Amino acid sequence: MAGLPGSGKTTQAVKLEKELAIPLVRTGDIFRDIAKEDSQLGRKVKDIVESGGLVDDDLVVEVVKKTLEDPKYQKGFVMDGFPRTVEQIGEFDPGFDFVFYFEIKEDEIRRRLSKRGRVDDSPEIISHRLIAQEENMWGVLGYYKFKGKAEVHEINSERPIEEIHGQIRSYLGNDN
């Protein structure tokens, strides 16, 4: 699942996890958990998360690779939040079959995020996150589209949740 913050990718990822009975890997949750740790890494990640920045590529790749070593991911998984840069794919490509990109307008992102109430959803941090993530997202999508590594689908995520989910299921060949 790929898209800017507030695009609905996590909502759809959670639905697929339950429906397909395969585990979900959410890098945002992983790093929020690390940020709670009383360690040098925890404090570093906390500062990055609270400022709306992106965790550096090497650390993201290390954490994702380590996570996917768990045997529970060997039969498949739903990924939310990785990769965010072409450099991350260069270091580790998990071999996705499908990539779903959730398209959404900036004003709708701001509306949705203002309702979540997370520390990293203030207007200033939202602006910073959008700038940091949007340009990287196009590189990631280009990689998957032009390298033929995965089936890429762009989805208008400003529609009702069930309508979006039905579209995803049809792409997966599971539209009953």
Give the residue from 78, 51, 81 showing the smallest Cα distance to 63: 81
Residue 117: burial class (beta carbons within 10 Å; 0-12, 13-18, 19+): exposed
- Residue 64 burial (CB count, 10 A): 21
pTM: 0.86
Give the H/E segment covering residue 152: strand 151-156
pLDDT at 136 over 80: yes
Give pLDDT, residue 57.
95
Of residues 88 and 119, the one with the higher pLDDT is: 88
**Arithmetic mean of pLDDT over the chain:** 91
Q: Token pair for residue 162?
A: 């069930």
pLDDT, tens digit (0-9, with 9 covering 90-100), for 40-84: 999 999 998 888 778 999 999 999 999 999 999 999 999 998 999
Which residues lie closer than 8 Å to 168 by C-beta, 6 or more apart? Answer: 12, 16, 100, 153, 155
Q: How many CA atoms lie within 13 A of 78 on its CB side?
A: 22
d(CA 27, CA 10): 11
Domains in the chain, ordered, with CATH?
2-172 (3.40.50.300)
Least confident of 8-12, 24-28, 86-90, 131-135: 131-135
pLDDT level of residue 175 (50, 70, 90 thresholds):
low
